[in-house]
Amino acid sequence: MRGKLTTLLFLLPVLVLFGLFRVVPVAGAVGMSLTEHDLGGGWTFTGVANYRDLAGSGTFLTSLRTTLVYVAICVPLTVLVALGTALLLRRVTWARSWFRTALLTPYVTSLVLAGVVWRWLFEPLGVLDHPSLVLPALAVVSVWKGFGYSMLVLFAGLQDVPPDCVDAAKVDGASAWQRLRHVLLPFLRPALFFVVVVETIGAFQVFDTIYVMTGGGPMRASYTLAYAVYDHAFRMFDLGHAAAAGIVLWAVVLLVALTQRRVFERGS
Amino acid sequence: MRSSRWPVVVLAVVTLFALVPFVVMVLVALSPPGAPTLPHALPGSLTLRNFAAVLAAEDFARWTLNTLVYAVVSVAAVLLSASMAAYVFARKRFRGRDLLLWSIVSTLMVPFHAVVVPLLLLVAALGWVDTYWGLVVPTLANAQAVLLLRQFILALPGEVFDAVRVDGAGDWRTYWHVVLPLCRPVLATLGVFVFLWHWNDFLWPLVVTNSTTTRTLTLGLSTMDSGKLGIAELMSAATVTALPCLLVFWLLQRHLAGVISGRGR
C-alpha cells in the first residue's frame, strides 16, 4: 500500500502538469470548436457550425492551400539538402566535426532570429513583397534553420550501413548512383521516414517566421493554417473559429503522418 | 587511397549558406548607426556602440532576465518532474502504467496551435496571465523529457537496482542516490535542449504576456523590428539574443549531436 502511494507521489507532478495543461486544453479545444463565444463571455453550443463556416470561407481554404504549397516546397528541399550533406559528410574525413558543427548552428537559434536576419537579407531582392515568391523565400529560411537536424539523423543512419555492402557493390562495378539507390537508401529507409515525418509536421505548423517576416502577406500569400489560427483567436477574437481551425490543423497533421507511414510500409 | 576534393568544396558552399546570415548579422550589428552596410554595402568602419545602446536599454535588460528565468526555472522543473515519473515508468509495475505513458507520449501529436486558445483561457482562469507563473508552468509538461529519461533508465543494468533494494533503500533513496547520479549525462544533455527550446520559444510568450515586465527576448526582438530602432541596433539585439544558444551549442556540441540524431549516447 505504501509502495502504491510512493508511486503516485512520484507521478504526481507529471500527472498534474499533463492533466491540467495538455488534456484539459485538448478537451477544451474540441468543445470550443463546437461553440460560439460572444464578447460578453458566454458560450453557445452551435454543433459543427464553425467547421461549416470554415469550409465555406475562401480565406480559410486559401490558407489550407497555402500551407500545402509551403509544405510541398519546404519538405523535399530540406530532406534533399539534408541527405546531400549527410552523404558528403560521410565521404569527408578532413574537418568533419567542424563541418557538422557549422551546418548545425542555425538549428540552435530561434526562428524569430532567423526571420529578423533573413528579412534583412531578402530586402534588396524584394521577394517578400511578391505573392508568388514569398513562400519559396520562407521555405529557404526554414531549410536554413532546419536541414542540420535532418542531416544529423541521416548521417547517423548512414553509420549503420555495413561498409562491406558498399565495398562489395563497388567491386561489382556499381556506379555511385547505383550504390546510393540500391545499397545506401534501403538502409536509410527508417531514418528517411523519420526525417520526412518530422519535417512535414514541422512545416505544417509554420508560424514564427511568418509572424516576423510577412504577417501573412502580401495579399495573404503566406497566410498559413497556423497563422490563421492565431489571426482568428488574437486579432479577430473569434475563439470558436480559431479552435475549429486548430482542430483542422491537428487532423491534417495526423492524417499526413499516418499516410506517410502507410507509404513507407508499402515500400519496404 | 584516391581522395576526391569535391565533397569538401560542396560542403564548404553549404556551410557558407549556413553561416553567412550570422556573419551578416554581426557585421551589421558592428556597423555605425545609419551608415550604409550589408547587404547593400560593406560597412566602412566597425563600432560597439550599438551593443552598448541595446544593452543599456532598460527593456532589453528586463527581457533578458525574463528569458533567463523562463529557461532556467523550466530546465530545473522539467528535469525533476520528468525524471521522477520516468523512474516509476521504467522500474515499477502498476495498473494502467502503459496506458498512462502512452497518453503522455500521444500529446506529442497535438500541434501547440490547436490547444493554445483553451490553454490561455485556463491560465486566465487561474489569474496567471502576464505573470511568470503563466509563462513557465504550462510549458513544463514535456513528453520528450519523460520518454527520453524512461528509455535511459530502462537501459540501466537491473543489478544496480537489486543491490540497493537488498541494502534496504526505498524508492526515494533509490531515486536520489542511484537514478539521478546515473542519469547525469542524459540529464545534462536534455537540460541543454530544454534551455534552448525555452530560450527560443515564441508563440506561448507572445500570447501569455503583454507587458514589458514579463516579455521575453524573442518577443522583444519581434516587436523591436517594427519599431523605431535602426537596423544596426536591431542586429545587435539579435546577436545578443543568439549568443547564449551559440555558446552553449559550440561548447557542448560533441555531447549534443548524439541526442539530436536520436542515437542516445
Confirm if B63 and B199 have CB atoms less than 8 A apart.
no
pLDDT of residue A267: 63
> Which chain B residue lies closest to A110 (C-alpha atoms)?
B200
Is A11 in Cβ contact with B118 (below 8 Å)? no
Rounded to the nearest 5°, which phi and psi values hold at B178?
-115, -55
More confidently predicted of A36 and A85? A85
Reduced to 3 states, what is the DSSP secondary structure of residue A95?
coil
Indicate the range of A108-122, B121-135, B141-155, B157-171 predicted with least confidence.
B157-171
* Burial zone of B230 (CB within 10 Å; 0-12 exposed, 13-18 middle, 19+ buried): middle
Q: Which sequence spans correspond to the domains of chain B?
A: 60-220
State yes or no: pLDDT of A231 exceeds 60: yes
Higher confidence at residue B83 or residue A45? B83
Q: Which chain A residues are within 8 Å of B2, Cβ to Cβ?
A: none
Q: Please give the average per-residue pLDDT across A123-150, as a whole number.
A: 94
Which pLDDT value is given to residue A180? 87
- Residue A93's pLDDT is 84
Which residue of chain A has the CA closest to B230? A120
- Say whether A111 and B200 touch across the interface (CB within 8 A): yes
The angle subtended at Cα A167 by Cα B6 and Cα B9, nearest 5°, is 10
Per-residue pLDDT band at A103 (split at 50, 70, 90):
very high
Q: Is A200 on the interface with B (CB under 8 A)?
A: no
Across the range A33-41, mean pLDDT stands at 81
Task: Give the least confident one: A54-58, B101-105, B214-218, B249-253.
Answer: B249-253
Averaged over B16-32, what is the pLDDT? 92
Distance from CA of B199 to the nearest CA of A (A): 8
- Identify which of B103, B138, B200 has the shortest CB distance to residue A21: B138
Q: Report, as an integer, the average pLDDT of B180-199.
A: 92
Q: Which CATH class name applies to B60-220?
A: mainly alpha
ipTM score of complex: 0.89
* Surface of A (70-109) touching B: CB under 8 A: 81, 84-85, 88-89, 91-92, 94-95, 97, 99-109
Q: Which residue in A256, A242, A145 sits closest to A196, CA to CA?
A: A256
pLDDT value of position B54: 85
pLDDT over 90 at B101, yes or no: yes
According to the model, what pLDDT value does residue A2 have? 67
Separation between Cα atoms, residue A189 and residue A259, nearest integer Å: 16
For A202, the closest chain B residue by CA position comes to B111
Region A74-88: what's the mean pLDDT?
96
**The pLDDT of residue B148:** 92
Q: Are the beta carbons of A109 and B242 separated by less than 8 Å?
A: yes
Most confident of A213-217, B2-6, B31-35, B224-228: A213-217
Residue B2 has pLDDT above 60, yes or no: no
Residue linked to cell 453557445: A44
Answer yes or no: is pLDDT of B254 > 80.
no
Mutation choice for A interface testing from B236, B261, B265 by most A CBs within 10 A: B261
pLDDT of residue B264: 45
Q: Which residue has the higher pLDDT, B72 or A170?
A: B72
Name beta bridge partners: A44. Answer: A36
Instruction: Give the chain B residue nearest A85 (alpha carbons).
Output: B11
Supply the pLDDT for residue A268: 58
What is the distance of C-alpha A191 from the center of its chain? Answer: 16
d(CA B199, CA B64): 10
Report how far Cα B172 is from the mean position of its chain's Cα atoms. Answer: 29
Query: Once rounded to an integer, what is the mean pLDDT over residues B77-97?
Result: 94
pLDDT of residue B265: 36
Whole-number pLDDT of residue A54: 92
How far is the C-alpha of A238 from the C-alpha of B191, rounded, in Å? Answer: 38
Q: Is-contact A119 A212, C-beta < 8 A?
A: yes
Percent of chain B at pLDDT > 90 equals 58
Q: Determine what percent of chain A is predicted with pLDDT higher than 70.
A: 98
Share of chain A above pLDDT 90, in %: 65
Q: Which residue has the higher pLDDT, B146 or B52?
A: B146
The closest CB to that of B84, out of A10, A120, A156, belongs to: A10
Task: State the average pLDDT over residues A183-199.
Answer: 90
Q: Which three cell numbers stand for residue A85?
A: 550533406
| Residue B165 pLDDT grade (very low, low, confident, very high; cuts 50, 70, 90) | confident
Average pLDDT of A74-97?
92
**In this complex, is the C-beta atom of A215 within 8 Å of any C-beta atom belonging to chain B?**
no
What average pLDDT does chain A have? 90
| The pLDDT of residue A9 is above 90 | yes
The dihedral built from the CA positions of residue A24, A30, A31 and A33, taken in this order, carries a sign that is positive
- Report the C-alpha gap between A125 and B93 in whole angstroms: 61
In angstroms, what separates the C-alpha of A132 from chain B's closest C-alpha?
23
